[in-house]
Amino acid sequence: FVVCDYCSIQASYPYLASVCEKMEGSLTAVSKYGFKLSLDSSYPENWPQAHTPRWKQIWDILPMIIRYLLVYIKTIICRHIIVMDYIKLVRSKQIYGVPLGGIGVGTIGRGFRGEFCRYQLKPGNCDYSTLQANEFIITIKDAANMTIFQSTLSTYKRSNKILSSWKQRLDASKCKYTGLYPRAWTEYDLSDYGIKLICRQVSPVIPHNYKDSSLPCALFIWNIENISNEERKVTIAFTFKNGMSDLTSKSTPCSTQSFSYLDSSGVTLRNYIEKMPCTYALAAKLKDNMNVSKCLYFNPTSDGAEPWNQLYDDGNFSDLTKTETDEVYDEVGCGIAVQVKVAPGAVEEPEMCLVWDMPIVSFPEGVTKYNKFYTKYFGVEKAALKIVNHALRNYKDWELAIYKWQEPVLNDAELPDWYKAALFNETYFISDGGTVWFTLGEEESERLPVTDPRQKYGRFGYLEGHEYRMYNTYDVHFYASFALAMNWPNLQKSMQYDFKDYVFLEDHHRQRMWYDGKFAQRKIKNSVPHDSGDSNGDPFVLINVYPVHDVSEWKDLNSKFVLQVLRDYKLTMKFEDGSFGKQYLEDMYKACHVVMQKSMTFDTDHDGLIENSGFPDQTYDAWIMTGSSAYCGGLWLAALYAMVVIARELNKNEDENMYAGILEKAKTAFEDKLWNGKFYNFDCSKLASSVMADQLCGHWYLRCSGFEYEGFPKSNVE
């Protein structure tokens, strides 16, 4: 029955209810695996991000340092943000847990101690604030309706400057956190007050489900168990404020409104994020035995006594005197509270939902306004309540899909526990990596053929890192792309079509490279670019913003494009949401062919094997490679074999024979130049005997594509 929706089973076959309950328990129970620690945990070490190089290293790169500082000063004067900031490094706060939200809609971070922190609602940018007004509060009353316990459900160190009335009374050592992306569980041991509480956090990140995975929402399911011998009345309150920091800009209006929509009730908070409209919605599912109360306004910079005392006295927020507030240019907090009676030995489950509806966004230096992908299903106006309703009605199906996705790995006895946790938790970047996912604009949609996957799946982008603000950095996406190709293959496909088009683009703008001070054309024709643009610029329009080296001379990018094309084609044959098929190869072939022709110009001695140029001309952009190298040469061999396969699939016999001939020459040169009897030398320089850990990258990619030893001698690489 794992393949079925357990709710549907119970409705259709009541006699299977006990089976379904067991299955539901396994779906929702605290995971055995994941990021696990108690809420009083602290990390034993606190490593700085900055690393001081040796004096010789500083001397070697001193000209580049000077050029960088000049650029940095210029960006400050022009009020821009540099694309790679080595001056103001972001120090890890060692607080983070599983983030909230789907893919491409911006995320709201959660700390394992209960923080709402690290907001990525402005596309491609991160605010590392922790907002104290964004909080859960529990109130427990006994059978005599006397409050016996009230506390925030967080244990991080709060400032006393604001909301000082909100007390933290949890015993952090008795509370536990488990994070297994995209879900998390926090267990609160309140047995001294007759209650055990578990918060299950669910975000819609679901492989092969594009509609629901695009939603800006998260669910909080509260499991309240009464372990006492008398009734308990328990209230869970959820509060939230406008903006992304404790000092929100007062130049834009903000207002709140009460709502009851179908089987949910709550509050909406209309505000602006960097002048882009955003509606927060806090909602609870209506149930017969639960009372939902609402707070339309509290001052998040005050001591917070009014809402705190209302909950303490009544277990509810005071009755509303009106259903909405006037627009104000100030800090605004609001909240909902769900109160439920829990009989001795019983379990109750309030269900809450948070939505941030920010349908249309733009970038600082761009003129284009982009519709987020979820607007394809929910529209660009007043979608928040529709998303609330959809999420509360469908989250159990999401959890079933997540469970089925993770179960084979978690139940594999041959895999170590740390790997099971890391495999899924490191996938967090699919939503938390400054990710954007847009529908196409009308003009572009009319220009592209109806068969283009971007018509259906839109445009996708994610940052190289929070401090390396370049979208879809292709040299490293080569490695990360497996997460997309295996779980959301049509996003990988969409990105490949973007880069296919980029190959033929030309941008004559010249920019000075940081590394050597030379001017280089931003984008030359018939080459794979480094990236899709800067999140603080005009991405997807102004591409190739990487400023360190002239990437048109990089020796790995073109090979990596070809290898991804073949990998995608072979890998997706088994997927229900569609094999890419030969049409994909047909569409990609011209781009593959021209970039391979470009790479052939790097073969300076005409032995079939490309040579590096004595500067960092590949993804390891501080490492100099001279002559043929194990890394770039190995990628080239693999790309040549990939072209043989692709040409054969498309019945391009002449091209197949050409690439096969070059491959045979290149294989001989690779062995003669680099094989030392034990491993392949780093390159052909005097320091060639260094071991390049990634020397078999090309071989690895072919193996992942279903091939064996076609490009490399088995005796050398097995």
**Model confidence over 67-119: pLDDT tens digits?**
999 999 999 999 889 999 988 888 888 999 999 999 999 999 999 999 999 99
End-to-end C-alpha distance for the chain, whole angstroms: 42
Identify residue 426 by its one-letter amino acid code: E
Report residue 707 as tokens: 């091939």
**Can you tell me whether residue 73 is helix, strand or coil?**
helix
Report residue 163 as tokens: 């909301």
Least Cα distance to 221 among 24, 503, 413 occurs for 24
Report residue 467 as tokens: 């401090």
Position 21 scores a pLDDT of 55
Tokens 């949890």 sit on residue: 170
- Cis status of the peptide bond prior to 449, with omega within 30 of 0: no
Identify residue 315 by its one-letter amino acid code: G
Beta bridge partners of 38: 176
Question: For residue 87, what are the contacts with CB-CB under 8 A and spacing of at least 6?
Answer: 72
- State the pairing for strand pair 459-461/507-512: unpaired
Position 89 scores a pLDDT of 85
Beta bridge partners of 580: none
Give yes or no for residue 246 having a pLDDT over 80.
Answer: no
Q: How confident is the model at residue 8 (pLDDT cuts 50, 70, 90)?
A: very low
Average pLDDT of span 319-336: 89
Q: Using CA atoms, how far apart are residues 630 and 422, in angstroms rounded to an integer?
A: 29
Q: Are the beta carbons of 224 and 233 closer than 8 angstroms?
A: no
Q: How confident is the model at residue 9 (pLDDT cuts 50, 70, 90)?
A: very low
Q: Are the beta carbons of 674 and 680 closer than 8 angstroms?
A: yes
Position 13 scores a pLDDT of 39
Question: For residue 25, what are the contacts with CB-CB under 8 A and spacing of at least 6?
Answer: none
How many Cβ atoms sit within 10 Å of the Cβ of residue 50? 9
Q: Using CA atoms, how far apart are residues 641 and 566, in angstroms rounded to an integer?
A: 10
CA 525 to chain CA centroid, nearest Å: 31
Q: How confident is the model at residue 12 (pLDDT cuts 50, 70, 90)?
A: very low
Position 250 scores a pLDDT of 75
Q: Are the beta carbons of 188 and 175 closer than 8 angstroms?
A: yes
- pLDDT tens-digit readout, 492-514: 999 999 999 999 999 999 999 99
Give yes or no for residue 619 having a pLDDT over 50.
Answer: yes
Q: Using CA atoms, how far apart are residues 104 and 181, in angstroms rounded to an integer?
A: 16
**Can you tell me whether residue 191 is helix, strand or coil?**
helix
Position 95 scores a pLDDT of 96
Tokens 């090979």 sit on residue: 559
Q: Using CA atoms, how far apart are residues 146 and 592, in angstroms rounded to an integer?
A: 73
Give yes or no for residue 298 having a pLDDT over 90.
Answer: yes
Position 708 scores a pLDDT of 94
Q: Are the beta carbons of 204 and 370 closer than 8 angstroms?
A: no
Tokens 């609160």 sit on residue: 188
Q: Are the beta carbons of 656 and 614 closer than 8 angstroms?
A: no
Which pTM does this prediction carry? 0.94
Give yes or no for residue 23 having a pLDDT over 60.
Answer: no
Domains of the chain: 31-42+92-395 (2.70.98), 440-717 (1.50.10)
Q: How many residues does the chain have?
A: 718
Render 368-425 in DSSP notation, one character per residue. Answer: -EEEBTTHHHH-SSS-HHHHHHHHHHHHHHHHHHHHHHHHHHHT-TTS-HHHHHHHHH
Report residue 175 as tokens: 């509370």
- If phi > 0 it is left, if psi is from -120 to 50 it is alpha, else beta; for residue 651 that is left
Identify residue 605 by its one-letter amino acid code: D
Position 247 scores a pLDDT of 61
Question: For residue 254, what are the contacts with CB-CB under 8 A and spacing of at least 6?
Answer: 242, 248, 269, 270, 271, 272, 327, 328, 329, 330, 332
How many Cβ atoms sit within 10 Å of the Cβ of residue 362? 15
Q: Are the beta carbons of 72 and 87 closer than 8 angstroms?
A: yes
Q: Using CA atoms, how far apart are residues 419 and 425, in angstroms rounded to an integer?
A: 10
Q: Using CA atoms, how far apart are residues 122 and 157, in angstroms rounded to an integer?
A: 26
Q: Using CA atoms, how far apart are residues 105 and 458, in angstroms rounded to an integer?
A: 13
Average pLDDT of span 511-528: 96
Give yes or no for residue 16 having a pLDDT over 60.
Answer: no
Q: How confident is the model at residue 697 (pLDDT cuts 50, 70, 90)?
A: very high
Q: Are the beta carbons of 270 and 255 closer than 8 angstroms?
A: yes
Q: How confident is the model at residue 452 (pLDDT cuts 50, 70, 90)?
A: very high
- pLDDT tens-digit readout, 621-669: 999 999 999 999 999 999 999 999 999 999 999 999 999 999 999 999 9
Position 10 scores a pLDDT of 42
Strand order in the sheet with 127-130: 107-110, 116-120, 127-130
How many Cβ atoms sit within 10 Å of the Cβ of residue 223? 18
**How many Cα atoms are found within 13 Å in the side-chain-facing hemisphere of 641?**
22
C-alpha pair distances (Å), 94 with each of 110, 115, 294: 12, 12, 34
Residue 527 φ/ψ, nearest 5 degrees: -145, 155
Average pLDDT of span 441-465: 96
- If phi > 0 it is left, if psi is from -120 to 50 it is alpha, else beta; for residue 349 that is beta
C-alpha pair distances (Å), 279 with each of 70, 219, 256, 616: 41, 17, 9, 46
C-alpha pair distances (Å), 708 with each of 117, 451, 512, 677: 46, 33, 43, 21
Q: How big is the CA angle at 333 (ends 329 and 335), to the nearest 5 degrees?
A: 145
Tokens 């001939």 sit on residue: 661
Q: How confident is the model at residue 15 (pLDDT cuts 50, 70, 90)?
A: very low
CA 481 to chain CA centroid, nearest Å: 13
**Can you tell me whether residue 277 is helix, strand or coil?**
strand
Report residue 84 as tokens: 């790679």
Report residue 283 as tokens: 């909602």
Q: How confident is the model at residue 249 (pLDDT cuts 50, 70, 90)?
A: low
